[in-house]
Amino acid sequence: MVDVSSKPETARLARAEARVVFSPGVRARVLAGDLPKGPVLETARLAGVTGAKRTSDLIPMCHPLRISEVKLDFAPEGDETLVVTGEVRAVDRTGVEMEALTAVTVAALTVYDMVKAVDRGMEITSVRLTHKEGGKSGTWSRDP
């Protein structure tokens, strides 16, 4: 683990996204809340927040951070895709990119778990960082 004790605490922000691609007709059921395991998106949101908070327990070299905010949103894209977006904020000595990536990944995995009984063929794709702010390297955004 890298020693960050000499780094100043600064405001940090990271955004990430993941996509869940469903078989035809399944995304509509997810959005309508019409699945046997219950409210998929609400459960995935809670799981994503928990994932962000537990990142340092899951990724060996991640520092535990004092996260101040985690936001997760879900939006339809195209015919059968659901985009999971996450934003994490903290004031700390190191960035929150891993927390944002973990949040969207855990949320997408939760969607998978709750929907697999009706769609074994769904895919989780395009997990990626889209924006980060703060720290020595400053601001970075993925080109559209």
Catalytic residue list: 113
Specify the 3-state DSSP secondary structure of 70. Answer: strand
Which residues pair with residue 54 across a beta bridge? none
Q: Is the distance from CB of 80 to CB of 24 less than 8 angstroms?
A: yes
Residue of 27, 17, 37 whose CA lies nearest to 122: 27
Radius of gyration of the chain (CA): 16
- C-alpha span between 26 and 86 (Å, rounded): 22
Query: What are the start-end ranges of the H helices in the chain?
Result: 26-32, 40-53, 55-58, 97-115
